[in-house]
Chains A and B, each alone.
Chain A
């Protein structure tokens, strides 16, 4: 016999789907795809600065958007495992609240797959010998 209780739960789940996704914004001491690296302290400062002055959501670095907003943005105080990923201490994490069904479908399918900062920063060139 099929379990009717499951059915009830599922209906609720559909109604209460949070449409939230958590991504890594910046990870300290990791070289990114552009060859940039950032210290833990600079990550913490960047996170604080974003929370205080911006909180602005953007889509594809093209346009401001109301299709999602930032639910929370924080720096991990310790190493921990989220999902099946080890998140290092000092990593900047952000949870987005998706407000658009089409965007949510893209997030769930993995088409939209991460967060990227659009900010100003001071850059120090790294001497090749240093690393």
Chain B
């Protein structure tokens, strides 16, 4: 900060070595510092005034209940809103949503309020008579949701219990469970008006319905299991019969080709050990070829002169083999005689 004022004096050798030398903080009332820089360059207080700090501390103090529930109890937005309002929280006007969410919260709260008042009232019938159609409808809707949730929970529990024993028939079991649960759900709906009179009766009714649903599911499951076992037994029997027939057929084919009983058993055994029909066919063809070759060779052997005994006649040999000397000798002997 420069000034155009003319300097009167030049300062030199400024020293703080003597007693009482200092630098002083000075005030506005005194006229501020002589250097003319009557301001702080930096105030290291993060720039928040006392008022600002106070205001922001108030934010902490006035943390809204839904926000509190969400942050510290991990609740969903809508749940925290409903619970907060149930506890008496009134949202500030600025927080009211623009669209129908307000109506939705009101509706939810209304049904809870009705349930609560019915629960607390001494004469339920009288209390019921006092609620209007909309309240009653809201109450029923909530009740349907609650009962559905219970039924679903129950079904899931049963399903998990029976899954170990019914792994093979999973699809059919699931179908059975679904079918058997639905009727119980409709039963629950029908019994809503009966549920209303007293709280204890209500609880008992729900328990009875849940038990009957469980029994029906179990029965259906047992029936399905029995059917499945029967089907499996018949399939096994059919398989055994088919296998036997195949073995018989193969044995017949082999024995028709191989006549020799000594080697028949071994060849049949070898043939049956072949798993695929193609292998068996090839084996059979080979056996047939071998058999026909053997037959042909036997015929050849029988007909061939090489394998026939050919004896020589002594008379012919003598005749043909007499030499001239022998014949002369025979002639002389004959003359002598």
| A contact residues vs B (CB 8 Å cutoff) | 1-4, 6-8, 10-11, 13-14, 17-27, 29-39, 42, 45-46, 49-50, 53-54, 56-62, 64-65, 68, 70, 82-83, 85, 87, 93-96, 103-108, 110-126, 128, 131
- Picked from A116, A122, A131, the residue with its CB within 8 Å of the CB of B35 is A116
Chain A residues within an 8 Å CB radius of B44: 17-21
CB pair A57 B7 closer than 8 Å: no
Complex Cα spacing A7 to B174, Å:
53
**18 A-B Cβ contacts within 8 A?**
A4-B60, A7-B59, A14-B57, A17-B46, A32-B35, A35-B5, A36-B8, A37-B7, A39-B10, A53-B16, A56-B21, A94-B23, A110-B28, A112-B25, A114-B25, A114-B39, A120-B21, A131-B7
Chain B residues within an 8 Å CB radius of A45: 13-14
CB pair A33 B20 closer than 8 Å: no
- Picked from B1, B21, B59, the residue with its CB within 8 Å of the CB of A27 is B1
Among residues of B, the one whose C-beta sits closest to the C-beta of A34 is B34
Which 8 pairs show the lowest CB-CB distances between chains A and B?
A114-B33, A35-B8, A54-B16, A46-B14, A18-B44, A58-B22, A37-B7, A58-B24
Among residues of B, the one whose C-beta sits closest to the C-beta of A13 is B46
CB pair A60 B45 closer than 8 Å: no
CB pair B57 A11 closer than 8 Å: yes
* B53 contacts A by Cβ under 8 Å: yes
Complex Cα spacing A39 to B24, Å:
21
CB pair A113 B39 closer than 8 Å: yes
B39 shortest CB reach to chain A, Å = 6
CB pair A87 B45 closer than 8 Å: no
CB pair B34 A33 closer than 8 Å: yes
Chain A residues within an 8 Å CB radius of B22: 54, 56-58, 61, 64, 117-119
A80 shortest CB reach to chain B, Å = 10
* B26 contacts A by Cβ under 8 Å: yes
Among residues of A, the one whose C-beta sits closest to the C-beta of B66 is A1
Apart from A17-B44, A22-B42, what are 17 other A-B pairs with CB-CB below 8 Å? A4-B67, A18-B45, A21-B40, A21-B41, A21-B42, A23-B37, A24-B41, A30-B35, A30-B36, A31-B6, A37-B10, A50-B16, A54-B23, A57-B23, A60-B24, A107-B43, A118-B23
Chain B's interface: helix, strand, loop or mixed, by majority? loop
CB pair B63 A113 closer than 8 Å: no
Among residues of A, the one whose C-beta sits closest to the C-beta of B55 is A10
CB pair B38 A4 closer than 8 Å: no
Complex Cα spacing A106 to B31, Å:
15
Among residues of B, the one whose C-beta sits closest to the C-beta of A92 is B35
Complex Cα spacing A1 to B26, Å:
45
Complex Cα spacing A35 to B243, Å:
126
CB pair B11 A121 closer than 8 Å: yes
* B336 contacts A by Cβ under 8 Å: no
Chain A residues within an 8 Å CB radius of B50: 105
* B93 contacts A by Cβ under 8 Å: no
Chain A residues within an 8 Å CB radius of B67: 1-2, 4
* B322 contacts A by Cβ under 8 Å: no
Chain B residues within an 8 Å CB radius of A113: 26-28, 32-33, 38-40
A15 shortest CB reach to chain B, Å = 11
Chain A residues within an 8 Å CB radius of B64: 1-2
Q: A7-B60, A10-B48, A123-B9 are in contact. Are A50 and B42 (CB under 8 A)?
A: no
The A-contacting residues of B in range 221-262, CB under 8 angstroms, are: none
B226 shortest CB reach to chain A, Å = 60
Complex Cα spacing A45 to B39, Å:
24
Complex Cα spacing A23 to B142, Å:
69
* B301 contacts A by Cβ under 8 Å: no
- Picked from A2, A61, A104, the residue with its CB within 8 Å of the CB of B26 is A61
B27 shortest CB reach to chain A, Å = 5
Chain A residues within an 8 Å CB radius of B2: 29-30
Complex Cα spacing A68 to B71, Å:
42
Chain A residues within an 8 Å CB radius of B49: 108
Chain B residues within an 8 Å CB radius of A121: 11-15
Among residues of A, the one whose C-beta sits closest to the C-beta of B29 is A111
Chain B residues within an 8 Å CB radius of A68: 25
Complex Cα spacing A2 to B58, Å:
11
B125 shortest CB reach to chain A, Å = 44
CB pair B16 A126 closer than 8 Å: no
